[in-house]
């Protein structure tokens, strides 16, 4: 796989993306990260940049050597962690847009963004979280990358360093659905973080090979499960 830069590498999905790319089965191409704190994963191919000031991330991206051909962003926070909607917007929307714009200027070929399911439904229109995700998706499409990949997972299953409010209840509900109705029903509600991460990496590999089905490729829940679990190969 081509040189790849990851944003959100210390989060639930992003940490799995990083560990997947650093696994022995992957190529020896550099894996670059830009984050506020050092990632937990390590490897000889990892080039980790730690920068606490997120306003500097775009310029850090521009100065990476070698320049990445692929950028993957699973960057995001919560209203509670950010201290309000306005601050969450600065990360989930503004920072992702800034990263995408700089990636385009820097000649990045493939941009992968982990978005969210249900953000374009009729009832989600006025919801700030949905507006953030839609805004980033629309900007990525507008920038006209050689290849854009948008993942829209449902409930993200996995253990977070800082639990989201109510997450334990939602994951318990999804687990109950899986026990009583089967894996397929659980997959329709949410996907494991590792599966989402593997789907992002798998899709980027397909794009690298020039085999992506669409220039602006959207992966919904069933596509994520297929690429991240059913068709996944180490």
For the stretch 109-129, pLDDT in tens is 999 999 999 888 877 778 999
Residue 175 has pLDDT above 90, yes or no: no
pLDDT at 172: 58
Residue 25 has pLDDT above 80, yes or no: no
Residue in 114, 124, 120 with CA at minimum distance from that of residue 149: 114
pLDDT at 29: 83
Residue 80 has pLDDT above 90, yes or no: no
Select the more confidently predicted residue: 208 or 29.
Answer: 208
Tell me the C-alpha distance between 140 and 104, whole Å: 9
Select the more confidently predicted residue: 74 or 169.
Answer: 74
CB 50 within 8 A of CB 32: no
For residue 150, list its beta bridge partners.
113, 218
């Amino acid at each position: 796989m081509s040189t790849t830069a990851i944003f959100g590498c210390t989060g639930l999905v992003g940490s799995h993306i990083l560990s997947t790319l650093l696994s022995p089965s992957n190529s020896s191409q550099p894996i670059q990260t830009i984050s506020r704190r050092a990632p937990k994963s390590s490897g000889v191919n990892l080039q980790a940049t730690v920068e606490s000031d997120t306003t500097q991330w775009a310029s850090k991206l521009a100065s990476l050597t070698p320049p990445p051909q692929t950028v993957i962003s699973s960057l995001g926070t919560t209203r509670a962690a950010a201290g309000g909607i306005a601050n969450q917007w600065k990360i989930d929307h503004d920072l992702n847009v800034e990263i995408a714009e700089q990636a385009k200027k820097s000649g990045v070929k493939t941009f992968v963004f982990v978005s969210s399911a249900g953000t374009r439904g009729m009832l989600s229109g006025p919801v700030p979280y949905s507006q953030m995700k839609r805004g980033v998706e629309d900007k990525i499409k507008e920038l006209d990358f050689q290849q854009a990949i948008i993942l829209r997972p449902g409930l993200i299953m996995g253990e977070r360093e800082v639990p989201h409010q109510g997450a334990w209840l939602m994951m318990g509900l999804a687990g109950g659905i899986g026990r009583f109705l089967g894996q397929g029903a659980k997959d329709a509600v949410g996907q494991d973080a590792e599966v989402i991460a593997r789907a992002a990496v798998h899709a980027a590999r397909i794009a690298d090979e020039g085999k992506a089905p669409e220039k602006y490729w959207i992966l919904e829940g069933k596509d994520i499960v297929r690429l991240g679990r059913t068709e996944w190969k180490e």
